[in-house]
Amino acid sequence: MKNIYNLTLEEMENYFLSIGSKKFHAKQLFEWLYIKRIKSLDEASNISKDLNQVIKKDFEFNPLKIVEVQEDVDVKKYLFELHDGEHIEAVLMFHDFGNSVCVSSQVGCNMGCKFCESGRRKKVRNLETYEMVLQILMIEEELGKRISHVVVMGIGEPFDNYDNVMNFFTIINSPFGLAIGSRHLTVSTCGVVPKIKEFAEFPLQVNLAVSLHAPNNEIRNKIMPINKVYPLEKLIPALKEYYKKTNRRLTFEYILLEGINDSESNALELSKLVKGMNCYINLIPYNETNNIEFKRTNTIKIMKFYDILKRNNITVTIRREFGRNISAACGQLRSKKEEL
Ligand code: SAH
């Protein structure tokens, strides 16, 4: 049986039509689910008892289970249990501009990036749309506050679960749903080129971030297997095309890994690679994990890398770190739980 939080407004309208009922019930039900936040259909007082019975027969309302919450000053991390006993994580960050949540899109991940904890476990399955929607709803409920920004940067490769992730955006962006503005939504990919092309046609103005992490194919091949399928000479033109179609500025994520991609000549090469693109580079201090041999670049060297990009007129920021004390790197909480 489908979960009710799986449906976009349009899908729900089609559902009501398909059972010989009226389209406007979809907006009513959306309001009950996303604005009034009912826990049972019986609370939806403007939907008739008979219709309620039909909906109940067709859909389940089950929430996810929050099994662990870790907290630090500026961050909260949630471990969820899914209906099949699998675990996923979401991270809530408190910024001065609002509260943002980083959601997971898959159980496990097949991309195999060498530095990433999540990829240590192969993909078990995609998350359903409702499992992403409920990460947001349940965090808002636990917190008692509104989430203003959402990034799909948790466990999983969102462009390997494209349709469900796009439906998730459609639901949380809907004025009858959570009404989170599309410019406050971001999806991050390791570089699945055909989906970048498809995403350029997606009607909502969701931001795109790309995990670049290397200035050339040689280094990228070593740390990100996806680069062998979609090397830079495919990725970069696809991103330029994306920009031409959408006019939306891109973000490049670049984790600095000691001795791998953090030299001065790497910084110069990176400047050349992105020159002329409307983008900014987000330098990410590596979050070391117990299981993996990569080391974090020290702060002085990070600043040097930053300066070189600046001097070459590249817009660059250094990512603020949240929750270093509480296993905040993606996949760390889950892998502790399951002792992988
Ligand atoms: N699969 C998507 C989204 C999930 S990863 C992607 O690759 O973009 C989200 C970001 O966290 C990516 O840029 C990823 O490379 C980065 N990341 C993974 N492990 C990390 C770690 N230990 N420290 C810092 N960033 C990490």
- Sequence-distant (6+) residues with CB within 8 A of 203 are none
Encoded amino acid at 210, one letter: V
Question: What pLDDT is attached to residue 293?
Answer: 84
Q: Is the pLDDT of residue 325 over 70?
A: no
Average pLDDT over residues 216-226: 98
Q: Looking at the predicted structure, is the pLDDT value of residue 27 above 90?
A: yes
219 vs 221: CA distance, rounded Å = 5
Average pLDDT, the chain: 93
Query: What pLDDT was estimated at residue 339?
Result: 46
User: E strands within the chain?
Assistant: 2-3, 59-60, 65-72, 75-81, 87-95, 98-102, 106-107, 125-126, 149-152, 185-189, 207-211, 250-256, 279-285, 315-318
Domain formed by 2-60, architecture: Orthogonal Bundle (1.10)
Q: Output the CA–CA distances (angstroms, integers) from residue 43 to 31, 52, 130, 177, in the order listed.
A: 12, 10, 20, 18
Q: Which residue has the tokens 């299981």?
A: 291
pLDDT of residue 117: 84
In the chain, what are the domain boundaries? 2-60, 65-338
Look at residue 331 in the predicted model and tell me its pLDDT: 57
Mutational test site, ligand 1, from 219, 255, 260, max ligand atoms within 8 Å of CB: 255
**Predicted confidence band at 333 (pLDDT cuts at 50, 70, 90)?**
low
CB atoms within 10 A of CB 1: 8
CA 241, 309, 251: angle at the middle one, nearest 5? 35
Q: Is the pLDDT of residue 168 over 80?
A: yes
pLDDT at 336 over 80: no
**121-125, 162-166, 228-232, 309-313: lowest mean pLDDT where?**
121-125
Residue nearest to atom 25 of ligand 1 (CA): 286
Select from 310, 223, 309 the least CA-distant residue to 260: 223
What's the farthest any 2 CA atoms get from each other in the chain? 69
CA–centroid distance, 148 to ligand 1, in Å, is: 21
SS3 138: helix
What's the token pair of residue 201?
């046609």
Higher model confidence: residue 248 or residue 1?
A: 248
Q: What percent of the chain has pLDDT over 90?
A: 86
Question: Does residue 337 register a pLDDT over 50?
Answer: yes
Average pLDDT over residues 112-132: 91
Ligand 1, atom 9, residue with closest C-alpha: 153
What's the gap in Å between 330 CA and the centre of ligand 1?
7
For ligand 1, mutation pick of 106, 115, 116 (most atoms within 8 Å of CB): 116
Percent of the chain exceeding pLDDT 70 equals 94
Judge whether 330 counts as a catalytic residue: yes
**pLDDT band at residue 332 under the 50/70/90 scheme:** low
d(Cα 106, Cα 139) in Å, to the nearest integer? 18
Using 50, 70 and 90 to split pLDDT, how confident is the model at 340? very low
Query: d(Cα 69, Cα 167) in Å, to the nearest integer?
Result: 27
One of 102, 109, 190, 330 is an active-site residue; which one?
330
Decide if 77 contacts 327 (C-beta within 8 A). yes
pLDDT surpassing 90 at residue 200: yes
Residues 6 or more apart whose CB falls under 8 angstroms from that of 173 comprise 179, 180, 181, 182, 185, 204, 206
CA distance 89 to 103: 7
CA dist., res. 313 & res. 57, Å (int)? 59
Query: Of the CATH numbers 3.40.630.10, 3.40.190.10, 3.20.20.70, 3.40.50.2020, which one belongs to the domain with range 65-338?
Result: 3.20.20.70
Catalytic site includes residue 89: yes
Classify 185 as helix, strand or coil: strand
